[in-house]
């Protein structure tokens, strides 16, 4: 049974995510006083005549979206748009969009007047199921991804599944990768629920989406609450990201983030398996029921070199000590983090991976 809302706490404020069953909340947001509306250009294009029809086009600040625009310059341009609209300390920024919109508008809201009220409406699977909670805002700086940022949660989040029906396939599958990650971290019962819902998720049925998003957020919350500043348990959320980030850099970001995370979970499984922490049977279950179906066949690793992946892992900003860090799922879907993975172990996993999943190489 879907829950109506979810409470979150952080050192900055407590906040709420509300699961909406109709788009009436959009009209309520539009009617509230002292608010400035910022909408992701893609979400605006797809929904201005639909779910977002209650927003007056003359009032909407349409935000250009590309990974290259997740910069301080875009935040500055947005400050200017805010000032044109007479931004005040007591106003509310209401933003609609994906993870990029979240990062740009969240950073802007956290710094303008040292913090103005911010309401966020995530419109992508990744933003709904994962990034909207956890309080992070990040910008890219020069060629560094997510180098600068703030901890600043929205005061309210509204989640409405029908936004997701218009996402393009690569972005949707990228979000699905994070959904699969969180469901594995949630344990066997919740992971098998996801497995059963897969056909409906691929058809993007709103009820199935809502359940998967809710479960993802409940699991994510269970890992970071009480650990907002990235120590201990929260680090386990890096599952799939140790190899995953390195795959992204080694392919010059040709593999979408959430897809790289799925490949990263496959590789982490191979390390766990050779360490004797994951049985053959558990590994087959993870691969066949959860991970392989989450990678569309056209993801290509052409040109990726194992050396470049190892280099990327060495540069992991969360790494401590001399070994490589890998978060892995072990038998019974327990999570563990090893910080002493050797380069040889990582190479062995990469070699097995290249043999079993050639993916264009």
Ligand X SMILES: NC(=O)c1ccc[n+]([C@@H]2O[C@H](COP(=O)([O-])OP(=O)(O)OC[C@H]3O[C@@H](n4cnc5c(N)ncnc54)[C@H](O)[C@@H]3O)[C@@H](O)[C@H]2O)c1
Q: Which residues bind ligand X (CB under 6 A)?
A: 40-43, 46, 65, 67, 70, 97-103, 123-124, 126-127, 130-131, 134, 136-138, 146, 163, 166-167, 171, 174-175
Min dist CB 67 to ligand X, Å, is 6
Min dist CB 123 to ligand X, Å, is 4
146 or 279: CB nearest ligand X: 146
Find, among 81, 29, 32, the residue nearest to 51 by Cα: 29
227 or 348: CB nearest ligand X: 227
Min dist CB 258 to ligand X, Å, is 7
β-partners of residue 118 are 93
16 alpha-carbon distance from chain centroid: 18
- Residue 247 CA to residue 241 CA, distance in Å, equals 9
Min dist CB 21 to ligand X, Å, is 17
b/e map of 306-332 (b: 16 or more CB within 10 Å)? Answer: bebbbebbeebeeeeeeebbbbbbbee
98 or 271: CB nearest ligand X: 98
Asked whether 70 and 105 are in contact (CB, 8 A), the reply is no
Min dist CB 201 to ligand X, Å, is 16
Joined together, the tokens standing for residue 89 give 């300390």
β-partners of residue 117 are 92
- Residue 129 CA to residue 149 CA, distance in Å, equals 21
Asked whether 17 and 157 are in contact (CB, 8 A), the reply is yes
Q: Among all residues, whose Cβ is closest to ligand X? A: 99
238 or 330: CB nearest ligand X: 238
146 or 192: CB nearest ligand X: 146
């Amino acid at each position: 049974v879907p829950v109506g809302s979810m409470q979150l706490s952080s050192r900055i404020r407590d906040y709420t995510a509300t699961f909406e069953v109709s788009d009436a909340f959009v009209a309520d947001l539009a009617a509230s006083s002292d608010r400035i509306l910022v909408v992701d250009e893609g979400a605006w294009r797809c929904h201005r005549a639909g779910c977002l029809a209650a927003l007056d086009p003359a009032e909407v600040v349409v935000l250009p979206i590309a990974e290259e625009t997740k910069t301080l310059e875009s935040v500055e341009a947005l400050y200017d748009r805010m000032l044109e609209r007479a931004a005040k300390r007591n106003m509310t920024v209401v933003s609609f969009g994906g993870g990029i919109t979240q990062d740009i508008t969240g950073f802007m809201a956290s710094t303008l007047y040292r913090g103005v009220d911010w309401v966020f409406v995530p419109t992508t699977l990744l933003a709904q199921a994962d990034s909207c909670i956890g309080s992070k805002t990040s910008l890219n700086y020069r060629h560094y991804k997510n180098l600068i940022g703030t901890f600043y949660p929205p005061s309210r989040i509204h989640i409405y599944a029908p936004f997701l029906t218009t996402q393009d396939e690569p972005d949707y599958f990228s979000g699905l990768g994070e959904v699969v990650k969180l469901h594995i971290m949630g344990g066997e019962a919740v992971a098998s629920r996801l497995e059963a819902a897969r056909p409906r998720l691929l058809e993007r049925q709103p009820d199935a989406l809502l359940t998967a998003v809710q479960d993802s957020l409940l699991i994510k919350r269970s890992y970071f609450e009480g650990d907002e500043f990235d120590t201990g348990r929260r680090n386990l959320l890096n599952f799939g990201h140790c190899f995953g980030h390195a795959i992204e850099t080694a392919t010059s970001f040709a593999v979408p983030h959430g897809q790289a995370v799925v490949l990263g979970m496959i590789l982490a499984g191979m390390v766990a398996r050779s360490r004797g922490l994951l049985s053959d049977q558990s590994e087959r279950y993870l691969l066949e029921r959860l991970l392989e179906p989450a990678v569309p066949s056209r993801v290509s690793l052409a040109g990726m070199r194992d050396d470049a992946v190892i280099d990327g892992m060495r540069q992991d900003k969360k790494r401590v000590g001399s070994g490589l860090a890998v978060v892995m799922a072990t038998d019974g879907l327990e999570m563990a983090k090893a910080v002493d993975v050797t380069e040889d172990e990582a190479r062995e996993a990469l070699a097995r991976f290249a043999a079993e999943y050639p993916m264009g190489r």
